Every structure is written in structure tokens, then in C-alpha cells.
Structure 1
């Protein structure tokens, strides 16, 4: 019931989202945030912390790097990612406006939900190994080498991994494994997940979901070291200036 209501709200507000343009998105003379009003279709579904549903999870988008959010919107527009509601909402929006949306949510940092319970010892140890050190024998780099030492993401295009539910992380890693989620080439996550077995996916998801949220949840300005592999992304409109 709740999921249906949220989807109907989003579809009902889609017209207001679709007709907006970067020039009209913010009205500094009105004293209010016109952009926030136009994006009620987004906040109705995603809320501030994400929304847990009986059969899934609508992820948190607040505070993630603008470049990452922009890439996901483009991925939905180009059908590299498939979700009927998202594909519909962004289908006719300009790239400039998609970037306006991304910047709007990137600038907002509400509190995170509480972490999940710590998994059993064996699962936790394997999860921490993969996140912190990777598995050189399997050619799996550490999650932290790209997503940041605090796992809060890295500017401009890498998302944070803290505050996400276990089942959602498993679902996204699984989507890359079976080819239902894609990113711009080179799709490094597709390469990495192909080297993980089901137990590894579970271990990473369980450990990340139980990770306490750090005091500083801002994405890092740069990775701690040179990323271990190239990952594709769609240049933001500002990058083309």
C-alpha cells in the first residue's frame, strides 16, 4: 500500500518536474526554494534517509556527490538502469536540468539512520577484508580504495556506502552480476562483481550495513590513493564548458 501511494505521488508530480528548466528552477526572489518544490516527486519517494519497503528499498540520495547522482539520472534516461518510474520521470529532461537536480540533493546532508546489527564473526571478517583490503588473488580491489577511507564517497562521481541496508547492497551488486544494472564504459563495477561469489556479496553487504556512520559524512575530496582501475562516467554539463 505504501509503495503504491509513493509511486502515484511521484507520477502525479512528474509534470511539474518535467517542465522545469535550470533557469526557472530556483526563484531567489520568492523567499522559498522553488527547486525543492519542483522536486517533490523525488522527495516523496526517497525521503531524507531513503525508504524501506516490504519488498525493497528506495535509496537515500541526499548528500551523495553531484557527479554520481547526475550519472545515475543519465543512466535511467538512457536505460542503462531500469526502473519504470525513474525511466519515465527523467525521459524528457535536459542534461542541464538533470545536473541541477543532482546538485540540489548533493548539497543536503540530513542525519543517517542507525546501523544494522553486526553479522556473525566469519561473515564480518570476510566482509571487512573485502571492503578494507580487497582480495588480490581474486583480483577484487578494496571497496575503500574507490569509495573513500570513511566509505562516504569521493568527489565527484563515487557514492558513499554507509547507511545502506544489507538487502539493498546485495540487490545492487547482484544487478551488476546479472547485467540488469550498467554504468558508462568502462563499467568497473560489472568487472568487480563478476569476480565475487554469492557469499562474498553477502559478506560485503552485511559488513557495510552494520558499519557505524562516521562523524564526518561528507564525500572525500580525493581518494586516499590512485584508484585501482578506470571507471567510466558521463561528464557533467559544467565539465563541457
Structure 2
């Protein structure tokens, strides 16, 4: 059954209702810098501004969100990780609680640099979906949880502005395929199940333009 515009808006507000203010980073920035230089810089660059489109820009991200992601790459014995990723799983497995807090503190203090748009022809369609959703298919506006400028709502909804389109698209696909299932109340898994591949590509391109 199709949902009305009011119902979709209510769903989006419900998702947003699970957020709270982000606490200050508790880790040691200098220790985080050392860890990042040793094991993270090859993919994410020393300051977290990845130049490789399949790897995310971490600079400026909320520390609570970063810490959660590193925990979610770890799988409990006999279970699949909430983020099933063959590259990150062995990296995260070596990190202690202090390491995670220190990395989160370090990256949160770095200045982000936006990734480039790869298909400008999709940006306008992406803007319509991001800011207004698709009521016909019961897709709420991305801005309702990630804010109109992509700054997010910590700690559950991350900053996504300026992110590489290729990385954003890969995460939307991961939510759809079930290899990523660490979203609040399965919100993203529900939403992407209603999105077309073209919509996912378009909104990924638009997100890269946000400042």
C-alpha cells in the first residue's frame, strides 16, 4: 500500500527522533594520528581525506559515529559483522578500545575536503530526491535525517556532505544487499529497498556537491 506524504514525513521524523547530541571526542588526538599514519593512511590518506573514490573521506566526521563503525566491522565469534567488509575487518580486529577512541578523536579534528562529482548530469535529480524524497515510492527526503546541507545529526546520522559519490553509492548498495546492517532501526535498509539504481547514483552525486 502506498504511503501518503504525511506518513512519509512522519516516518522521517521518527528516524530523526532517535538522535542525541554528540559528546566531545574522548580519545587522544596525537595517539590517533600515530595509528592513522601506521595503518589507515594507505587508503584514507594521513588526514582522512581519501583520494581514492571507493574509500570514504573520514576527516571531520563525528567521533561517536566513527567509533561505532570501527566496532561494527568487528564480528563476534560465530557471527557476521554488522558491516561485513573484507578490507576493514582485519584492520578493525587489531584495534583496542583506546585505539578506536583515539582514531575517532583524530579524524574528527581534521578538515574535510570534498570528493569530486563524477556525473554532473545526475546532480539535479539527486537534489530532488535528497531534499524532497519520492512520495510515490514512499522514500523520505534524505535531508530529514542527514540535514539539508548534509551535516547529519550526531551520533546516529553521519555527516555525508562532500563524500565521494562512488563510496556513497557502494554503501547504499551494501544496505540493500545486507552486507551492511548497522543502521538505526533498519532505516537505511528500508529506504534503499524502495530506491532504483538510478536514484542511488543520482543522490550519491548530489551529496558530493554539499558543503
Normalised TM-score (structure 2): 0.73
Please, which of 98, 101, 114 is the counterpart of residue 99 of structure 1?
101
The answer to whether the 8 A contact 1:65-1:158 is kept is: no
Q: Does 1:149 align with 2:151?
A: no
Secondary structure in structure 1 of the residue aligned to 2:49: coil
Please, which of 68, 71, 86 is the counterpart of residue 68 of structure 2?
71
Shift of 1:192: 0.7
Alignment of 1:88-237 (within 5 A): 88-116=90-118, 118-119=120-121, 123-183=122-182, 186-209=185-208, 211=209, 213-214=210-211
The answer to whether the 8 A contact 2:134-2:140 is kept is: yes
Shift of 1:62: 1.0
Which whole-Å deviations, capped at 9, do the CAs of 1:153-180 have from their partners, x for residues lacking one? 2222322222223332222111111111
Secondary structure in structure 1 of the residue aligned to 2:185: coil
The answer to whether the 8 A contact 2:73-2:89 is kept is: yes
For 2:56, the equivalent position in structure 1 comes to 59
The CA RMSD over aligned residues, in Å, is 2.5
Take 2:94 and 2:187, find their aligned partners in 1: how far apart are those partners?
28
Take 2:200 and 2:64, find their aligned partners in 1: how far apart are those partners?
26
Q: Does 1:50 align with 2:32?
A: no
Q: List gaps (5 residues or longer) in structure 2.
A: 1-25, 76-80
Take 1:75 and 1:197, find their aligned partners in 2: how far apart are those partners?
27
Secondary structure in structure 2 of the residue aligned to 1:202: helix
Moved more, 69-78 or 101-110: 101-110
Alignment of 1:29-44 (within 5 A): 33-40=30-37, 41-44=39-42
Shift of 1:37: 1.5
Q: List gaps (5 residues or longer) in structure 1.
A: 1-22, 28-32, 215-241
Shift of 1:42: 1.4
Shift of 1:189: 0.7
Shift of 1:86: 1.6
Moved more, 199-208 or 88-97: 88-97
Secondary structure in structure 2 of the residue aligned to 1:84: coil
For 2:18, the equivalent position in structure 1 comes to none
Secondary structure in structure 2 of the residue aligned to 1:186: helix
Which of these two proteins has the greater Rg computed from alpha carbons? 1
Aligned residue pair count: 178
Shift of 1:146: 0.8
Structure of greater relative contact order (alpha carbons < 8 Å, 6+ residues apart): 2
Alignment of 1:5-20 (within 5 A): none
Take 2:42 and 2:55, find their aligned partners in 1: how far apart are those partners?
10
Shift of 1:113: 4.1
Secondary structure in structure 2 of the residue aligned to 1:58: coil
